[in-house]
Amino acid sequence: MNKSVNNFLEKAKSTLNQAYSHAKETIYSITSTPSASVQQISDYVISHPDSKIVKKHYLGLTLSFYELEQGQMHYYLETNGHKILQLDVHSKDHSVVSYRSYRDQLSLNTPVKFPDLHGSK
């Protein structure tokens, strides 16, 4: 019985996270708030020609470390193949995104609000 209660709680938690993500996306869309998902930011950093990339091999795994300075924003990304392990985005004044795959429960497609940087991203 304890296992079925845990399964129920996990499903409820997952459903609430999905509902929260969808509501957040809808609000940002309606209010025209500049936002992007962790996945979109990661794709941007990986594909940007100015990104600095370092690859390291540990115990048969290839980890990639990306850094990008773009306007007032600093991006740092760690991946293991296509899996996003860590993403940090900082503006001059504060942290915009701090994603860790081992702790964050939100979907990679949940929108993240960006500060108004007067057109600089």
Give tens-digit pLDDT for 37-64: 888 889 989 999 999 999 999 898 999 9
DSSP letter, residue 34 = -
Place of tokens 């709680």: 9
Domain-located, residue 118: no
| Model confidence band, residue 103 (pLDDT cutoffs 50, 70, 90) | confident
H/E stretch holding 56 reads strand 52-58
Domain count, the chain: 1
3-state secondary structure of 2: helix
Domain-located, residue 121: no
106 and 17 Cβ atoms separated by less than 8 Å: yes
3-state secondary structure of 80: strand
Domain-located, residue 73: yes
Binning the chain into helix, strand and coil, the percentages to the nearest 5 are: 35, 35, 30
Domain-located, residue 120: no
The pLDDT > 70 percentage for the chain reads: 67
Question: What is the model's pTM?
Answer: 0.66
Tell whether the model's pLDDT for residue 113 goes beyond 50: yes
Domain-located, residue 57: yes
Which residue range is the domain that position 50 belongs to? 2-113
| Model confidence band, residue 102 (pLDDT cutoffs 50, 70, 90) | confident
